[in-house]
């Protein structure tokens, strides 16, 4: 299945989704700092579910959002990773080198910045990965909204970097943010993954067998000690895809509106709210806040550019169609770590911990500053078309 809409429609959709996500985060902050705060937190903490024989699944509304609904977001991420790897910006081996190097640099350097800022506070170091992830949907939406003058290639490159970044975040979650592992449940999860792989090897092209096994996989993974959203990524990667259609693309097109307009705004609404009254000064003095904020604002773009420099140096220069001007213009937007960073913060510290609130403040502050920096640099290097015409330079060179 192909998307027949024009590129301007996709840009507008990305911009609107970015605005909705930002609005949901602002509303979550507002609800947490008004007389409605107690009722709002009681709603998030309200528990419900099913308990039938061996099946016992009763969670709070917050956990349903973070563990179940976000699995759908990660399912979409898995599909995107596979699509880009097979048919998109990462399909050719030579095309993978630059975004892979950029993604690696963009994960390592923010983590190092966080560790450097918190070196004297070892108890905070569990959050080293919070600034290491780029929010693919939010970054592209904000770039579409605030940097319309950037060439299409910049958006393709950012997508490739963010997809690889998300893959790295999933590996980090699975490797470093897991509870005590349950061998039997992990074994059942592996068996379910093998069953999905066998479906693919036997040529099963319909989506529902994979999605059915994906639900089973989510259950096993949730009880294995690994975060259940990993099941979403694995299911997305295992869904069969073809260049012009396939089960993966059909599921992605069905999921995309629900994820963009429901799942991510709900996640932002539930997770971005920080109680500021009486604690704003403390939050702004916390090394966790500044470790995350500076990791996103400085570590991300510097890591991206360092990775690109290393790849270009090893490969004899930037590939055709790429320029340092373009890299500088988009590097700031890579510091938009919103959804993935908040998600990792939720895994790094328990809800209500001072470090958790400081990490969320750092994510909001760092993302805001990264958007301002990215918009300023992009507007300077790539003026919007109307501004170019007014200056008598229609080419924008």
Look at residue 198 and tell me if it is in a domain: no
Look at residue 196 and tell me if it is in a domain: no
Write down the pLDDT at residue 397.
42
Look at residue 188 and tell me if it is in a domain: no
d(CA 279, CA 288): 14
Write down the pLDDT at residue 252.
92
Q: Which residues of the chain have pLDDT under 70?
A: 1-15, 136-137, 277-278, 384-397
d(CA 87, CA 290): 39
d(CA 104, CA 206): 35
Q: Report residue 109 as tokens.
A: 């350097």
> CATH no. for residue 245?
1.20.1530.10
Q: Report residue 225 as tokens.
A: 């000690």
Per the listing, tokens 């932002």 go with 268
d(CA 73, CA 166): 11
Write down the pLDDT at residue 13.
62
- Are 158 and 188 in contact by the 8 Å Cβ rule? The answer is no
Look at residue 303 and tell me if it is in a domain: yes
Write down the pLDDT at residue 318.
84
Look at residue 140 and tell me if it is in a domain: yes
Look at residue 373 and tell me if it is in a domain: yes
Residue 133: φ, ψ to 5°:
-115, 140
Looking from the CA of 269 toward its CB, the CA atoms found within 13 Å total: 17
Look at residue 397 and tell me if it is in a domain: no
**Pairing assessment for the beta strands 47-52 and 55-60 based on DSSP bridges:** antiparallel
The structural domain count of the chain equals 1
Residue 191: φ, ψ to 5°:
-60, -35
Write down the pLDDT at residue 396.
42
The residue range of the domain holding 333 is: 7-177+227-390
Write down the pLDDT at residue 158.
85
Look at residue 125 and tell me if it is in a domain: yes
Write down the pLDDT at residue 15.
67
How many other C-beta atoms can be found within 10 angstroms of the C-beta atom of residue 154?
Answer: 22
How many other C-beta atoms can be found within 10 angstroms of the C-beta atom of residue 286?
Answer: 23
How many other C-beta atoms can be found within 10 angstroms of the C-beta atom of residue 278?
Answer: 7
Write down the pLDDT at residue 282.
87
Q: How do residues 240-281 score in pLDDT, each as one tens digit? A: 998 888 899 999 999 989 998 999 899 989 988 887 766 788
Write down the pLDDT at residue 299.
95
Q: Report residue 205 as tokens.
A: 């092209």
Residue 34: φ, ψ to 5°:
-130, 175
Per the listing, tokens 């007014």 go with 390
Q: How do residues 195-247 score in pLDDT, each as one tens digit? A: 999 999 999 999 999 999 999 999 999 888 888 888 999 999 999 998 888 89
d(CA 334, CA 264): 18
As a three-state string, the secondary structure of the chain is: CCCCCCHHHHHHHHHHHHHHHHHHHHHHHHHCCCCCHHHHHHHHHCEEEEEECCEEEEEEHHHHHHHHHHHHHHHHHHHHHHHHHHCCCCCCHHHHHHHHHHHHHHHHHHHHHHHHHCCCCHHHHHHCCHHHCCCHHHHHHHHHHHCCCCCHHHHHHHHHHHHHHHHHHHHHHHHHCCCCCCHHHHHHHHHHHHHHHHHHHCCCCCCHHHHHHHHHHHHHHHCCCCCCHHHHHHHHHHCCCECCECHHHHHHHHHHHHHHHHHHHHHHHHHCCCCCCCCHHHHHHCHHHHHHHHHHHHHHHHHHHHHHHHHHHHHCCCCCCCCHHHHHHHHHHHHCCHHHHHHHHHHHCCCCCHHHHHHHHHHHHHHHHHHHHHHHHHHHHCCCHHHHHHCCCCCCC
């Amino acid at each position: 299945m192909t998307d027949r809409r024009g590129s301007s429609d996709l840009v507008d959709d990305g911009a609107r989704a970015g605005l909705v996500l930002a609005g949901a985060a602002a509303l979550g902050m507002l609800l947490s700092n008004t007389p409605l705060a107690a009722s709002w937190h009681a709603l998030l903490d309200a528990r419900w579910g099913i308990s039938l024989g061996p099946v016992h699944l009763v969670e709070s509304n917050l956990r349903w959002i973070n563990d179940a609904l976000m699995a759908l977001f990660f399912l979409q991420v898995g599909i995107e990773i596979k699509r880009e790897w097979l048919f998109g910006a990462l399909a050719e081996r030579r095309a993978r080198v630059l975004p892979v190097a950029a993604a690696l640099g963009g994960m390592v350097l923010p983590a190092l910045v966080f560790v450097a800022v918190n070196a004297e506070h070892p108890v905070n170091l569990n959050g080293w990965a919070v600034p290491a992830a780029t929010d693919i949907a939010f970054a592209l939406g904000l770039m579409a909204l605030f940097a319309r003058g950037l060439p299409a290639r910049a958006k393709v490159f950012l997508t490739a970097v963010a997809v690889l970044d998300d893959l790295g975040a999933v590996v980090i979650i699975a490797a470093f943010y897991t509870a005590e592992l349950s061998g039997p449940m992990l074994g059942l999860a592996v068996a379910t993954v093998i069953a999905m792989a066998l479906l693919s090897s036997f040529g099963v092209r319909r989506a529902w067998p994979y999605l059915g096994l994906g639900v089973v996989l989510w259950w096993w993974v949730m009880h294995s000690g690994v975060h259940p959203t990993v099941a979403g990524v694995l299911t997305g990667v295992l869904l069969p895809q073809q260049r012009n259609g396939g089960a993966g693309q059909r599921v992605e097109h069905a999921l995309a509106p629900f994820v963009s307009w429901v799942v991510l705004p709900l996640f932002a609404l539930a997770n971005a709210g920080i109680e500021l009254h009486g604690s704003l000064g403390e939050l702004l003095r916390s090394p966790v806040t500044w470790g995350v904020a500076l990791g996103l604002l400085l570590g991300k773009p510097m890591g991206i550019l360092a990775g690109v420099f290393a790849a270009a140096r090893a490969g004899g220069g930037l590939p055709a169609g790429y320029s340092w001007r373009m890299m500088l213009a988009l590097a700031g937007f890579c510091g938009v770590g919103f959804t993935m960073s908040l998600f990792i913060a939720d895994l790094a510290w328990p809800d209500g911990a001072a470090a958790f609130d400081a990490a969320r403040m750092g994510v909001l502050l760092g993302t805001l500053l990264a958007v301002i920096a990215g918009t300023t640099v992009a507007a300077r290097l790539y003026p919007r078309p109307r501004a170019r015409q007014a200056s008598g330079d229609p080419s924008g060179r």
